[in-house]
Amino acid sequence: MKKKQMLLDIARSLAVIAGRDIPQIAELSDADAYQWDGQNQVLLPVEKVNYVSLDLLHGIDSQKEILASNTEQFAKGLGANNALLWGAKGMGKSSIVKALHADILQKSKTDASFCRLVLVEIHREDIQSMPSLMRCVAKLDAKFLIYCDDLSFDKDEMDYKALKSVLDGGLEGRPSNVLFYATSNRRHLMPRDMVENETRAAIHSNEAIDEKVSLSDRFGLWIGFHNCDQPTYLEMVGHYCAHYQIDVSAEELRACAIEWAATRGARSGRVAIQFVRHLAGKKGQSLH
């Protein structure tokens, strides 16, 4: 077995030097989620996904509704769009993807109209291997929700071109059993000054801008997440405390939550759950 693996590693290395991909056949276990190892081009099963229940995500109701509808359509074999979840940090962009996957898995136990939905996480540094991942899962009997957290590209990076081609415009195109969700703090996945510099310097500025934003155009859904106000933040804190049954008065909760947000310099879902963990520890309680 070790000799076989050594020969396979040598073959892969030679293929990389020659600029070729080695066709792979992905293998699925009973797991519902996997991580993509771009270097070895294999799916690594994830036994337990770290997710927050969908009903615990507050302050993003419209975003949940839009993405839930799109994801359920895909899981039922209907039309659906790739989605870019962009905007403020800590407002549940990545949490909503994992929560929706878990929610559909639960629904599929009693609703036969749902296909098997597999969540595959691909890391930013492996995004250039997206074409290989697509080919790996294209012929497998399942629907694949491929997800990349915190996706963005800096100046002079060319990886975005590989992603652009597989999402929509390439010769192979996106397999019918694959959907791609990405989260990013950037609406166009590129630094703002990158687009602005093109506008000032290029002779044909419109063409230059189109090239930089054409990747985000490949996503049929753009879903924005914005910083929340104080009432929404306090609502999040209140729901978390109620769910975890933390014994605290309304006055103490409000005062401590506002102070916590002030020290963090932000109000968001992430700040809310961090405060609730802190509060639970002070009260001698654990979060389950």
For the chain, what are the domain ranges? Answer: 23-225, 230-282
* Through-space distance between the first and last CA atoms of the chain, rounded to whole angstroms: 42
23-225: CATH topology is Rossmann fold (3.40.50)
Q: Are strands 83-87 and 42-46 parallel, antiparallel or unpaired?
A: unpaired
CB 104 within 8 A of CB 117: yes
DSSP assignment letter at 276: H
Work out the pLDDT band at 14, boundaries 50, 70, 90. Answer: low
35-44, 119-128, 215-224, 269-278: which has the minimum mean pLDDT?
215-224
Work out the pLDDT band at 22, boundaries 50, 70, 90. Answer: very low
Look at residue 206 and tell me whether its pLDDT is greater than 60. no
Work out the pLDDT band at 17, boundaries 50, 70, 90. Answer: low
Strand blocks (E) in 26-76: 33-37, 42-46
Alpha-carbon dihedral angle through residues 94, 51, 145, 24, given to the nearest 10 degrees: 110
pLDDT at 5: 44
Closest listed residue to residue 29, CA positions, set 42, 11, 19: 42
pLDDT at 145: 97
pLDDT at 256: 97
The tokens describing 220, both together, are: 């049929």
pLDDT at 173: 67
pLDDT at 79: 94
Q: What percent of the chain has pLDDT over 70?
A: 77
Q: Are strands 178-184 and 83-87 parallel, antiparallel or unpaired?
A: parallel
Higher pLDDT, 121 or 189: 121
58-62, 88-92, 212-216: which has the minimum mean pLDDT?
212-216
Higher pLDDT, 115 or 217: 115
Closest listed residue to residue 188, CA positions, set 174, 198, 178, 179: 198
H helices of the chain, in order, are: 2-18, 61-75, 93-108, 130-137, 159-164, 192-201, 205-217, 230-243, 250-264, 269-282
DSSP string, 139-150: TSSSEEEEEESS
Look at residue 195 and tell me whether its pLDDT is greater than 60. no
CA angle 65/250/92 to nearest 5° reads 25
Distance CA 216, CA 208 (A): 14
